[in-house]
A and B are shown apart, each in its own frame.
Chain A
């Protein structure tokens, strides 16, 4: 068992600073999802860990070994590519065997007909063939072993790429958006399979995705990356409930978190549009109050708003509203029964529990807040 530790990685492409000193640790057996919007540098980071790209500065340690200056082949990793990167001229069987053949057979022994006649080659080839079947079976690839990638569906190719990655039992798995080329239904199913494979193999895994749902559902820990920096690394629950940065709060969660411009009065009470909202803070200056859609509730007292639009989701209800004083859009996730009495155009008061309010400073970092006198009831 081994983990991945990276420290202070920086990378620049021309004038663009892609990575600004990224440090991250993936413990042995841990599944870490690296999530961020397109172009945030997450794929570059993964390619640097794999050794396909070189960093300008910083260190990569896999297991106990510093591998920063080693070639990918010597890093003891396996990678699943977004495009799967299967060899189109090889059968599924041969594709899965490549990592073993490359390491256990000499260049001569790998020769098509002749290679099998060389001393030792036959036994090693038989052992590899056996392991290929063992890696392919749990993924349901056995009937497909003699096909070529061109004859497979997207989901089947994806499995072949996974089998090729797990066959060698590497020290670490790297997965670069492995599900992004699958349709929605298959994605949900494969998501689970990858988690099960990870549980069975128990290898440190770094999983790059732009899909926050994948990150939250699959990972032990989620690392949110934006603009070449890691903003927060925490378990999925903490990333969702206690985001450390306004950008993290905005990126994670769907529908998007509600944000309202807030201020602090002389007594330290947080106000929105001049109205105290039942929170106190030591911070000063312009603040942002952020509330998850399920934290807001229609109430007798609270933020004044106008209901605009209702979306029925079957198991719930989305209420689109507008904060009356400054016109900020608000979204509420409600129980289906709440539909009664909610009509577009109706004036509402929206309350929330102080414990569920998130307060951010002008720099976007989280600031501490505590409940004040219950002016706004939940």
Chain B
């Protein structure tokens, strides 16, 4: 008899997914829901009660100059890190793939920042970029060029953080691109040569770039979300300073929630952040995906 057995199977299946479902519910869904609800209240940590204030938090956000700066800084940071780390990662992947030897070595070298602890590495960067004793400025001095106050001047701080961000994610992007490159059939390059693609650039345009489309799209989404999430380096190196010049979305959220204990406002910022990330993912799956898969 088929139907009873199917029902039994369904029960067994449900039972087996139960642990994962419970974990998902407790650890992901409920906290997200709680955050979403909190975003519409004026709850502060330790306060005896909380009041429902509707869109009050969001209105405050729009009026808050600090929040505006934070959004602008985050966008600048994403706008710098994403293209540089993608193009750089692609360039490195092409160079390493083209080389006859040392693939594993270079892959490890460039991947190191990805697996190392950002907070610890930030300390190293602090030393490297130190205005007086840092090796970077020592080198610039030796060349007779000006020595900027990398992390302590509001003109350069975002640029310095972006450079560290690129250093952090370029290796990751490179490894993703290398995986994408190995999936391109060698025959296509042979065909391109026979068809008259003489220069390496011609072959890149005819074969490599279009066939890397799905990889590039994935790298783009990952890079944007990763750089949108910038927090460690800001928290360790600049605390959002000087004068809010490096204040970014997640740092603002952290400060509001854990320094000023305004959990309601902090939750509202989180919700905005979540909305942006979801919008990016929607853009990937719905819009761009159709343009890079060819079958």
Contact = CB atoms under 8 A, between A and B. Distances in A.
Contacts of B207: 87
A85 B190 contact: yes
Contacts of B202: 102, 107
Nearest to B187: A85
Contacts of A99: 195-196
Task: State which size class the interface on B falls in.
Answer: 20 to 34
Interface string B186-216: 0110111111111001100111001101000
A72 B203 CA distance: 13
Given A73-B198, A102-B195, A83 B190 contact: no
B105 interface: no
User: Considering residues B193, B195, B196, B295, which has the most beta carbons from chain A within 10 angstroms of its beta carbon?
Assistant: B195
B102 interface: no
Interface of A: 47, 50-52, 71-74, 77-79, 81-83, 85, 87-90, 98-99, 102-103, 107, 110, 148-151, 164
Contacts of A151: 295
A50 B196 CA distance: 12
Given A89-B210, A99-B195, 8 more contacts: A71-B193, A72-B190, A73-B193, A81-B187, A81-B191, A87-B191, A87-B207, A150-B294
A87 B194 contact: no
Contacts of B197: 73, 102
A373 to B, nearest CB: 60
A73 B205 CA distance: 16
Nearest to B191: A85
Contacts, number: 73
B99 interface: no
User: Considering residues A50, A72, A90, which has the most beta carbons from chain B within 10 angstroms of its beta carbon?
Assistant: A72
Contact of A98 (B206, B210, B294): B206
A72 B193 contact: yes
Contacts of A85: 185, 187-188, 190-191
Contacts of B188: 85, 87
Interface of B: 185, 187-188, 190-198, 201-202, 205-207, 210-211, 213, 294-295
B184 to A, nearest CB: 10
Contacts of A98: 192, 195-196, 206
Given A83-B187, A107-B202, A151-B295, A88 B194 contact: no
Contacts of B196: 73, 98-99, 102-103
A187 to B, nearest CB: 20
Contact of A79 (B194, B213, B295): B194
B294 A72 contact: no
A77 B294 contact: no
B186 to A, nearest CB: 9
A193 to B, nearest CB: 21
B210 to A, nearest CB: 4
Cβ-closest 6 pairs across A and B: A150-B295, A102-B196, A85-B191, A89-B210, A72-B193, A85-B187
A81 B189 CA distance: 12
B195 A52 contact: no
Contacts of A52: 190, 193-194
Contacts of B195: 73, 98-99, 102, 164
Contacts of A89: 210-211, 213, 294
A72 B197 CA distance: 9
Nearest to A174: B194
